[in-house]
Structure 1
Amino acid sequence: MISLSKIIKASFTRNTGNDKRVIEIRDYFTAQKQVPETNSELQTSLQAQTILENAKVEAETLKREAQLYYETVQQQILQEKENWEDEKQQLVETARKEGYEIGLQQGHQDGLAQYHQLIEQARQIVESANSEYYRQIEAANETILLIGLKVAEKIVDAHLNENDEHFVSLVKRAIREVREHSEVKIYVHPTYYDAVISQKDELKEIFNQEVDLFIYPDAQLPDHGCIIESPFGRIDASVDTQLQQIKEKLRERFEQLEEA
């Protein structure tokens, strides 16, 4: 007799708190209309937008692959259920024939007991397989999420490392959030301090009035970190913060996919 446990298990083996505000992602790379930009800054903005769009396309591809994986495994479960129904009918027929052939009440009872035992065994296997399936789906989603984030990190890091001007452009966009204030402090990693301080005059032109602009190096920040303080509050414009937002949005999309 075919072992139902082996059939199902083999199949699944195969398929197996301070006043702090963060700039939204769309503001991070989206050019502002209020303050004219130089050709160089506009080009940098378009390059940054292209980089983000590539990251979004990669994320969409990963989500489609996750959906395809889900549908494939779901179809496999349905197929295994159909196979089990066929197996169950064979077991019933075998038990019935054996009971008649023995011709004894005890034999009939033994066959029936064996049948119920096999049914219970199959039920437990199906439950175990379903649990393993959902565990694998959850693990796959987390893996895809991490891959998507790593792709975004590599794209953004490569873009910023090409030229210090790219990082300065991001600082300019962050400053626009506080351009109404007359005193602003900017903290950046020492790696980009010289690049930012050298364009202090250009940064001051972004403001709508005279401004006391202070720029400080902060070695405790990540390489692409940027903190802006003003009477309005504290803005975290660090690249890592933007990538964390991307991760959270990817996680939300996966959760929506699972609920669908």
Structure 2
Amino acid sequence: MNTYRFHKELPPVHQQGKILKASSYKTVSSAIELLEISKTEAQKRRQEAEVEWRRQQELGYQQGSEMARQEAIRHHWATIANTLDYLSALQEQMAETIIEAVRILIQTTPDAERVLQLAAAAVERLQQQSWIVLCVHPEDIDGVNILLEGWKKIFLPRQMRVETRSSEEVGRGDCVLESPIGRIDVSLEAQLKVIQEQMQEML
């Protein structure tokens, strides 16, 4: 069966987890600070490149020299290339830092709770399905089954039947959903990868 991924944000926390540790708070703060600094730096570099291009272009025309104009063009494109390289590296660093902050926050939640939190967003989009199977790590299945009983009463459509199955292929705290439309990877790393790709496209 085909495997699908939801290109959506991570599911909200439906149950209270642990209090955010100081180390996690510092990581999140660093990610936010890096994002703001990078935006300012990117704007500054673009402005500097534009100013330098105009200066070199004006210099070339003033000198009336083809050589000067060619040098201005070469300098302009070199500046653009350097700026793009810098921004590309900075964007990647930003995305990695923010994703790591999100990962730290989510991993403070016990594995069994995280499985259901990850599954919750997917289930919301599968409300028309008659059944789903939560494939989880063998060491998570008992905890998931205990939490699932209360979760069914709150979050699941009445007509939907939910079962669990252990699988060594699924990591601790992760989940793969099986339904009539196929298998859906809703594991933490799969969600974070999608978010990171979307962030890099937006930056």
Q: CA RMSD in A?
A: 3.5
Instruction: Give the distance between the partners of 2:53 and 2:46, measured in 1 at CA.
Output: 11
Classify 1:129/1:23 alpha carbon distance in 2 versus 1 (closer, same or farther; 3 Å).
closer
Match of 1:174 among 122, 127, 136: 122
User: Aligned pair 1:75/2:51, yes or no?
Assistant: yes
Instruction: Give the distance between the partners of 1:134 and 1:242, measured in 2 at CA.
Output: 34
Deviation at 1:218, TM superposition (A): 3.6
User: Which string of whole-angstrom CA distances, capped at 9 and with x for unpartnered residues, describes residues 163-187 of structure 1?
Assistant: 2134542333333333443431223
User: Aligned pair 1:18/2:6, yes or no?
Assistant: no
- Counterpart in 1 of 2:166? 216
- After TM superposition, the score normalised by the length of structure 2 is 0.70
> Which residue type is aligned with residue 6 of structure 2?
V
User: Aligned pair 1:204/2:152, yes or no?
Assistant: yes
Q: Of the two, which has the highest radius of gyration? A: 1
Match of 2:185 among 226, 236, 251: 236
Classify 1:127/1:248 alpha carbon distance in 2 versus 1 (closer, same or farther; 3 Å).
same
Task: Name the SS of the counterpart of 1:184 in structure 2.
Answer: strand
Higher relative contact order (CA 8 A, sep 6+): 2
Q: Which has the higher helix share?
A: 1
Task: Kindly indicate whether the alpha-carbon contact (under 8 Å) linking 1:226 and 1:237 is maintained by their aligned counterparts in 2.
Answer: yes
Instruction: Give the distance between the partners of 1:180 and 1:252, measured in 2 at CA.
Output: 32
Task: Kindly indicate whether the alpha-carbon contact (under 8 Å) linking 2:114 and 2:173 is maintained by their aligned counterparts in 1.
Answer: no
> Which residue type is aligned with residue 170 of structure 1?
L
- Structure 2: stretches of 5+ with no match in the other structure: none
Alignment size in residue pairs = 190
Deviation at 1:191, TM superposition (A): 6.8
- The sequence identity of aligned pairs, in percent, is 21
Q: How does 1:89-238 map to 2 (within 5 A)?
A: 119-164=65-110, 165-189=113-137, 192-193=140-141, 195-205=143-153, 206-209=155-158, 211-219=161-169, 221=170, 225-238=174-187
Task: Kindly indicate whether the alpha-carbon contact (under 8 Å) linking 1:204 and 1:211 is maintained by their aligned counterparts in 2.
Answer: no
Task: Name the SS of the counterpart of 1:22 in structure 2.
Answer: coil
> Which residue type is aligned with residue 65 of structure 1?
E
